[in-house]
Amino acid sequence: MYYCRHLTYADLDRELLIIHEQVCKKLGIPVLGISSGARCPQCNKTVGGTEHSAHVPQNNASKLAEAIDVPMSDSNIKFRYARELFKNYDNIHRIEITNKHLHFDKGVKEDGFPQDVLVIKWI
Residues binding Zn ion (CB under 5 A): 4, 6, 40, 43, 67, 69, 103
- Give 16 or 43: the residue with its C-beta nearer to Zn ion: 43
* Distance of closest approach, residue 103 Cβ to Zn ion, in angstroms: 3
Distance between CA atoms of 123 and 116, rounded to whole angstroms? Answer: 21
The residue number with the shortest CB distance to Zn ion is: 43
- Give 27 or 47: the residue with its C-beta nearer to Zn ion: 47
* Distance of closest approach, residue 9 Cβ to Zn ion, in angstroms: 14
Identify any residues that bridge with 3 across adjacent strands, giving them in sequence order. none
- Give 28 or 93: the residue with its C-beta nearer to Zn ion: 93
* Distance of closest approach, residue 66 Cβ to Zn ion, in angstroms: 10
C-alpha distances (whole Å) from 90 to each of 21, 86, 94, 103 are 17, 7, 10, 16
C-alpha distances (whole Å) from 34 to each of 37, 43, 72, 97, 103 are 7, 16, 10, 14, 10
